[in-house]
């Protein structure tokens, strides 16, 4: 098999259906399979997807929801394709995206992972699709929304052309096109992350192993993210800040002294509590 597309479903029948349809409506000059992992959905989305797609899609049913990383890994452990695409269930692929990035990867053997331009529902750029790795300085500016022209405020690469092609640090987990041999080299997704952060961690390990990560802005997908102004489930807020803690402890705590680490951990805790408190007063979806 040339390409395996892995999509994790959790109670999102309509979104997942639309995502898969946006793939199979086009033809490709390479072999492709679509694998949908159902993360123990509590509704009937799995059975409805199986009935709708019949034998066009492979399905894996997880007995429990152990998180996004674990769900993806259920498929990744059994894939032997040349390339793998990790794709969110709330995305729509544009017509030439898969074909163009496949050809780009074929022509650039030093590229370990490639992403594309990710547009939100309102057609604005999802800034997570091209970014630097988080560190103490750029995370401070970003999390506290401090306006600055400092060179250290480089988490979102806003100064780089949205339509360009260039090397970056980190892609969004909504669309990561990678090689099977890259995952053989660096390992699968870290299941310590329940959701959030596993994409940054994977990109960090890919670059540490000597592979390039490329933003391919000439092609696009649409990502239907939830509006940040609306009320979120407390579990999601908790997991977001928990992912920050896990990532920092895993990759950066050894670079700093105990005092700095304690400040970082305390800051993450305070931000989490503040976000949970403010979320109480937001409107429901």
Residue 122 DSSP symbol = T
**Segment 11-34 mean pLDDT:** 96
Tell me: pLDDT of 152 over 60: no
Radius of gyration of the chain (CA): 19
Q: What is the pLDDT of residues 221-264, one digit of tens each?
A: 999 975 333 456 888 888 888 898 898 888 888 877 888 888 88
Instruction: State the pLDDT at residue 228.
Output: 34
Residue with tokens 């890259």: 182
- Pairing status of strand 212-223 against strand 91-93: antiparallel
Instruction: State the pLDDT at residue 235.
Output: 84
Tell me the C-alpha to C-alpha distance, in Å, between residue 32 and each of 8, 27, 56, 81, 96.
17, 10, 11, 9, 14
Residue with tokens 């163009």: 100
Instruction: State the pLDDT at residue 229.
Output: 37
Among the residue ranges 25-34, 197-206, 228-237, 272-281, the one predicted with the least confidence is 228-237
Q: What is the pLDDT of residues 72-112, one digit of tens each?
A: 999 999 999 999 999 999 999 999 999 999 999 999 999 99
Instruction: State the pLDDT at residue 227.
Output: 37
At 150, list the tokens. 């400092």
Instruction: State the pLDDT at residue 126.
Output: 93
Tell me: pLDDT of 150 over 60: no
Inter-residue contact 142 to 156 (CB < 8 Å): yes
Inter-residue contact 1 to 28 (CB < 8 Å): no
Tell me: pLDDT of 68 over 60: yes
Tell me: pLDDT of 158 over 90: no
Instruction: State the pLDDT at residue 139.
Output: 61
**Segment 164-172 mean pLDDT:** 96
**Segment 56-64 mean pLDDT:** 95
- Pairing status of strand 111-120 against strand 175-179: antiparallel
**Segment 172-193 mean pLDDT:** 96
Within a 10 A sphere around the Cβ of 72, how many other Cβ atoms? 26
- Pairing status of strand 32-38 against strand 58-61: parallel
Inter-residue contact 29 to 99 (CB < 8 Å): yes
Instruction: State the pLDDT at residue 60.
Output: 97
Looking at the chain, the whole-number percentage of residues with pLDDT higher than 70 is 89
**Segment 128-151 mean pLDDT:** 69
Average pLDDT over all residues of the chain: 89
The helix/strand/coil state of 192 is coil
Instruction: State the pLDDT at residue 195.
Output: 86
What are the DSSP calls for 34-57, one per residue?
EEEEE---SSSHHHHHHHHHGGGS
Residue with tokens 């993210």: 225
Instruction: State the pLDDT at residue 285.
Output: 55
Q: How far apart (Å, rounded) are the C-alpha atoms in residues 266 and 283?
A: 28
């Amino acid at each position: 098999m040339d390409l395996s597309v892995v999509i994790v479903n959790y109670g999102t029948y309509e979104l997942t259906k639309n995502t898969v349809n946006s793939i199979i409506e086009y033809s490709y000059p390479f072999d492709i399979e679509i694998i949908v992992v159902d993360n123990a959905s509590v509704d009937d989305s799995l059975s409805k997807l199986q009935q709708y797609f019949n034998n066009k899609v492979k399905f894996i049913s997880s007995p429990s929801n152990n998180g996004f990383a674990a769900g993806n890994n259920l498929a990744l452990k059994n894939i032997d394709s040349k390339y793998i695409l990790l794709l969110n269930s709330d995305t729509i692929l544009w017509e030439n995206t898969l074909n163009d990035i496949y050809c780009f990867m074929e022509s650039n053997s030093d590229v370990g992972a490639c992403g594309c331009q990710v547009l939100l529902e309102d057609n604005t750029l999802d800034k997570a699709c091209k970014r630097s790795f988080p560190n103490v300085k750029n995370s401070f500016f970003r999390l506290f929304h401090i306006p600055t022209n400092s060179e250290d405020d480089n988490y979102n690469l806003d100064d780089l052309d949205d339509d360009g092609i260039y090397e970056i640090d980190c892609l969004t987990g909504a669309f990561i096109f990678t090689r099977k041999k890259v995952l053989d080299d660096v390992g699968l997704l870290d299941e310590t992350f329940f959701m959030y952060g596993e994409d940054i961690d994977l990109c960090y390990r890919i670059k540490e192993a000597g592979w390039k990560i490329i933003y391919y802005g000439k092609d696009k997908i649409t990502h239907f993210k939830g509006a940040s102004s609306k009320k979120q489930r407390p579990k999601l807020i908790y997991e977001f800040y928990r992912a920050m803690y896990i990532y920092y402890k895993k990759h950066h705590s050894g670079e700093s002294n105990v005092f700095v680490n304690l400040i970082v951990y305390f800051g993450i805790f305070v931000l989490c509590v503040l976000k949970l408190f403010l979320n109480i007063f937001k409107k429901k979806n």
